């Protein structure tokens, strides 16, 4: 019987391995930037075209490579970062596995040119699908330039799995943000489709964060600085009022390497206990410096996962350091986030002396003459008793018709069934259909703001806004945009004035594109995002009129069963269902 176990050809095994290292264009950018950082570059330029699908180019002024080094760098497991297995447990460089360039070159077309410091001549090499096409000597400046073109050109199935340009660009910007924040000593230029998106000069960590996320983040940054025997912590925590519904402002760096860690996230989140509203996440830029021998970064080829030798003590250190940081800056819990401002004591009242209440006495008052015999007779008459019983029955009937439980669900009863409605999902459906109708019928009602709302947009938010600005206008938003400053002068009547900024911020920080949210168009995507952000939240108490209005509006919708994101809005319990429970 013939043998069935075969050794795969090198080109096949490289393409398979590339799936772990090169998941999307942002993965390529991450590996190239880490190589530039390891080459001790002081200036790095990134050029992107078509969200990295057609071109990712990184130019640096680092140490450069010789001809032989360039050839070797595209061989799998060739690296200059380690020499033996012991070096794995004392990693100080960004890269070390020697897989990235081999994997990238097997699924793309690469052009690389490089020149070492103090050498006049450089070298150029061109590789297609892992095969060298051409090479020659060049007279170029010190440093390295590498172009990665037509990613996955020879693996069309992988290319088809890539998302829209907008989604892929968001992943690329996220990778860039991680690298730029953790290496503020490097000057970065980021160009997308011939337009300069970022120019970041060498600056302090705080200025680097502000340069990326905008001026509005400046006043919300709380510095953290804690040195212990296990690890040293520094960076910034964002004030609780700057918390978002997404985790977009959460950055963790271990020895300047961007990592993902659930236990660190949980440690920081628990430090904010009592400071955050439900559904909101804290923001932070936390740097952890720790002995490399106490961590293991060789967990996954993308090097974003990490294991700690003493994670329990590190958890406690991070938790207490964040609490201490918040305490120093007098960030205290607020029990009622929706408190009525009218209940606050004014400054003038605080400074004034309390007045003694006056007492008026009616000298003719006689408690025994409140009811005369005739009134007492009327009060306890058969007719009066019937009225009382009738009023009580009507009250009970009205109360049992519709009511709210747990400030989350609305219960409506009929003669044959019980309906339990999720108020948040129901309001999402109502708003969603209303927004779509307004956009397609151009029947928007907007209100002029006395004081325009000004929002400083980050580069990523600006990119998102430019994609859906026409939908903003069709709903009744009126605005002016000057560079990255959005000035809103009118808003739709459906929105509360005091939540407009938060709603817009939430939409522009949305992690999904309309292709990922099963939306039919930008309008549909925008209507979904806006309805989710501006809907009544779980935990919000509604009066009986609001409850009844919500139920009536829901069942007048075209699709009352499902929310815009296809979640079930209500359940129905028939009389027999309830009887079967007992």
The string of pLDDT tens digits covering residues 44-67 is 999 999 999 999 999 999 998 888
The pLDDT value recorded for residue 232 is: 94
- Architecture category of domain 417-571 in CATH: 2-Layer Sandwich (3.30)
pLDDT above 80 (res 273): yes
Q: Is the pLDDT of residue 111 over 90?
A: yes
List CB contacts of 76: < 8 A, sequence separation 6 or more.
14, 17, 98, 99, 102, 103
Chain centre to alpha carbon of residue 460 = 11
pTM for the full predicted model: 0.70
Range 207-328: architecture per CATH: 2-Layer Sandwich (3.30)
Q: Which residues of 47-78 are buried (b: 16+ CB within 10 A; e: fewer)?
A: bbbebbbebbbbbbbbbbbebeebeebbebee
More confident residue, 334 or 100: 100
Confidence of residue 138 (pLDDT cuts 50, 70, 90): confident
Q: What percent of the chain has pLDDT over 90?
A: 27
Higher pLDDT, 338 or 422: 422
Q: Does residue 244 have a pLDDT over 80?
A: yes
CB–CB of 469/523 below 8 Å?
Answer: no
Distance CA 222, CA 330 (A): 11
* Whole-angstrom distance, CA of residue 529 vs CA of residue 12: 42
| Bigger pLDDT: 458 vs 335 | 458
pLDDT at 11: 67
**What's the sign of the alpha-carbon dihedral 544, 549, 550, 554?**
positive
DSSP assigned state of 547: H
Confidence of residue 33 (pLDDT cuts 50, 70, 90): very high
pLDDT digits (tens, 9 = 90+) for 170-193: 889 999 999 999 999 999 999 999
70 pLDDT more than 90? no
CA distance 248 to 461: 11
Return the biggest CA–CA distance within the chain: 120
Q: Where are the beta strands (DSSP E) in 210-353?
A: 221-227, 232-238, 250-254, 257-258, 284-289, 295-296, 307-308
Q: What is the predicted pLDDT for the residue at 493? A: 73
Q: Which residues contact 284 (CB under 8 A, 6 or more apart)?
A: 235, 236, 237, 238, 249, 250, 251, 252, 268, 322
Residues 6+ apart with CB under 8 A from 402: 410, 411, 412, 413, 544, 547, 548, 551
Which pLDDT does position 298 carry in this prediction?
A: 62
Bridge partners for 190 per DSSP: 46, 198
Helix axis angle for 423-441 and 544-554, nearest 10°, is: 60
Burial of 565 (0-12, 13-18, 19+ CB in 10 A): middle
Average pLDDT value for residue range 267-280: 87
Using 50, 70 and 90 to split pLDDT, how confident is the model at 264? very high
CA-to-CA separations, 305 to 30, 234, 299, 308, 310, in angstroms, rounded: 14, 20, 6, 10, 16
Does the structure show a pLDDT above 60 at 32? Answer: yes
Of 128-137, 273-282, 380-389, 469-478, the least confident:
380-389
Q: Which of 6-10, 80-84, 203-207, 272-276 is most confident? A: 203-207
SS3 readout for 175-237: HHHHHHHHCCCCEEEEEECCEEEEEECCCCHHHHHHHHHCHHHHHHEEEEEEECCCCEEEEEE
How far is the CA of 416 from the CAs of 285, 355, 572, in angstroms? 56, 59, 10
Quote the mean pLDDT of the chain: 80
Chain centre to alpha carbon of residue 136: 46
- Number of other residues whose CB lies within 10 A of the CB of residue 553: 17
Question: pLDDT-based confidence at 8, cuts 50/70/90?
Answer: low
Banded pLDDT at 330 (limits 50, 70, 90): low
Phi, psi of 246 (to 5 degrees): -115, 170
Number of helical (H) and strand (E) elements in the chain, helices listed first:
18, 22
What is the pLDDT averaged over residues 336-348?
A: 45
Q: Could you tell me which residue, 253 or 155, shows the higher pLDDT?
A: 253
Q: Which range, of 99-108, 241-250, 452-461, averages the lowest pLDDT?
A: 452-461
Higher-confidence residue of 20 and 260: namely: 260
Q: How confident is residue 448, by pLDDT bands cut at 50, 70 and 90?
A: confident
Look at 44-48, 221-225, 502-506 and tell me which has the smallest mean pLDDT: 502-506
Do 67 and 116 meet the contact criterion of CB atoms below 8 Å apart?
no
Residue 380 has pLDDT above 50, yes or no: no
Instruction: Kindly give the pairing relationship between strand 284-289 and strand 250-254.
Output: parallel
Q: Answer yes or no: is pLDDT of 385 > 60.
A: no
d(CA 337, CA 502): 14
Please check the confidence at residue 402 and state whether its pLDDT lies above 90.
no
User: What's the pLDDT score for residue 450?
Assistant: 79
- Is 56:48 a contact under the CB 8 Å cutoff? yes
Map out the domains of the chain as residue ranges: 10-202, 207-328, 369-399, 417-571
Domain 10-202 top-level CATH class: alpha beta
The pLDDT confidence band at residue 300, using thresholds 50, 70 and 90, is low
- Please give the pLDDT value at position 342: 47
- pLDDT value at residue 449: 79
Per-residue tokens: 494: 């459906």
For residues 218 and 454, give the distance between their C-alpha atoms in angstroms, rounded to a whole number.
Answer: 16
Between residues 440 and 141, the one the model is more confident about: 141
Q: What is the pLDDT of residue 50?
A: 92
Burial class (CB within 10 angstroms; exposed 0-12, middle 13-18, buried 19+) of 126: middle
Other C-beta atoms closer than 10 Å to the C-beta of 414 total: 10
Same fold, 10-202 and 417-571: no
Q: Tokens 């009205």 appear where? A: 398
pLDDT of residue 521: 64
User: 233 with 267: CB under 8 angstroms?
Assistant: no
Q: What pLDDT sits at residue 387? A: 52
Question: With 0-12 CB in 10 A as exposed, 13-18 as middle and 19+ as buried, what is 457?
Answer: buried
Residue 534 pLDDT > 70, yes or no?
yes
Strand order of the β-sheet with 402-405 is 402-405, 409-413, 417-422, 570-574
- Among the ranges given (282-291, 338-347, 396-405, 444-453), the one the predictor scored with the smallest mean pLDDT: 338-347
**The pLDDT of residue 20:** 63
Assigned token pair, 236: 């910034």
Residue with tokens 């440093």: 143
Q: Answer whether residue 269 shows pLDDT above 90.
A: yes
């Amino acid at each position: 019987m013939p043998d069935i176990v075969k050794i795969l050809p090198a080109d096949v095994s490289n393409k398979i391995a590339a799936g772990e290292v090169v998941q999307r264009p942002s993965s390529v950018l991450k590996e190239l930037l880490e190589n530039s950082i390891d080459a001790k570059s002081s200036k790095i330029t990134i050029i992107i075209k078509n969200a990295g699908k057609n071109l990712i180019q990184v130019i640096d002024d680092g140490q450069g490579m010789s001809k032989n080094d360039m050839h070797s760098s595209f061989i799998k497991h060739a690296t200059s970062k380690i020499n033996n297995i012991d070096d794995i447990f004392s990693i100080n460089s960004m890269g070390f596995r020697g897989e990235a360039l081999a994997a990238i070159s097997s699924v793309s077309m690469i052009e690389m040119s490089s020149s070492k410091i103090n050498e006049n001549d450089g070298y150029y090499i061109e590789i297609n699908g892992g095969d060298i096409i051409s090479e020659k000597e060049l007279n170029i400046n010190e440093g390295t330039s590498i172009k990665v073109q037509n990613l996955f050109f020879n693996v069309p199935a992988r290319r088809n799995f890539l998302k829209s340009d907008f989604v892929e660009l968001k992943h690329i910007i996220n990778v860039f943000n991680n690298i730029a924040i953790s290496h503020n000593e490097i000057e970065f230029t980021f160009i997308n489709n011939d337009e300069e998106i970022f120019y970041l000069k060498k600056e302090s960590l705080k200025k680097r964060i502000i340069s990326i996320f905008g001026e509005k983040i400046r006043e919300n940054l709380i510095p953290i600085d804690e040195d212990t025997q296990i690890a040293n912590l520094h960076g910034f925590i964002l004030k609780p009022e700057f918390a978002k519904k997404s985790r977009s402002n959460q950055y963790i760096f271990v020895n300047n390497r961007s990592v993902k860690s659930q236990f660190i996230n949980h440690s920081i989140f628990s430090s904010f206990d009592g400071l955050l509203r439900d559904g909101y996440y804290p923001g932070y830029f936390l740097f952890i410096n720790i002995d490399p021998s106490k961590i293991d970064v060789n967990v996954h080829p993308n090097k974003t996962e990490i294991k700690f030798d003493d994670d329990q003590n590190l958890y406690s250190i991070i938790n207490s350091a964040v609490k201490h940081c918040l305490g120093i800056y007098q960030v205290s819990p607020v029990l009622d986030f929706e408190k009525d401002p009218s209940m606050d004591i004014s400054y003038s009242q605080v400074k004034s002396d309390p007045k003694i209440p006056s007492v008026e006495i009616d000298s003719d008052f006689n408690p025994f003459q409140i009811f005369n015999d005739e009134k007492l007779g009327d009060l306890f008459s058969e007719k009066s008793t019937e009225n009382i019983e009738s009023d009580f029955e009507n009250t009970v009937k009205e109360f049992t018709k519709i009511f709210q439980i747990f400030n989350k669900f609305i219960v409506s009863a009929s003669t044959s069934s019980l309906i339990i409605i999720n108020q948040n999902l129901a309001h999402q459906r109502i708003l969603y259909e209303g927004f779509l109708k307004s956009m397609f019928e151009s029947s928007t009602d907007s209100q002029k703001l006395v004081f325009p709302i000004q929002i400083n947009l980050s580069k990523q938010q600006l990119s998102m806004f430019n994609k859906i600005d026409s939908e903003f206008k069709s709903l009744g938003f009126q605005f002016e945009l000057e560079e990255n400053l959005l000035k809103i002068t009118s808003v739709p009547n459906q929105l509360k004035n005091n939540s407009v900024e938060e709603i817009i911020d939430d939409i522009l920080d949305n992690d999904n594109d309309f292709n990922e949210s099963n939306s039919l168009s930008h309008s549909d995507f925008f209507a979904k995002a806006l309805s989710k952000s501006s809907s009544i939240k779980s935990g919000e108490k509604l009066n009986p009129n609001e409850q009844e209005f919500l139920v009536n509006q829901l069942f007048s919708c075209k699709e009352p069963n499902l929310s815009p994101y296809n979640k079930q809005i209500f359940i129905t319990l028939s009389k027999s269902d309830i009887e079967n429970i007992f």
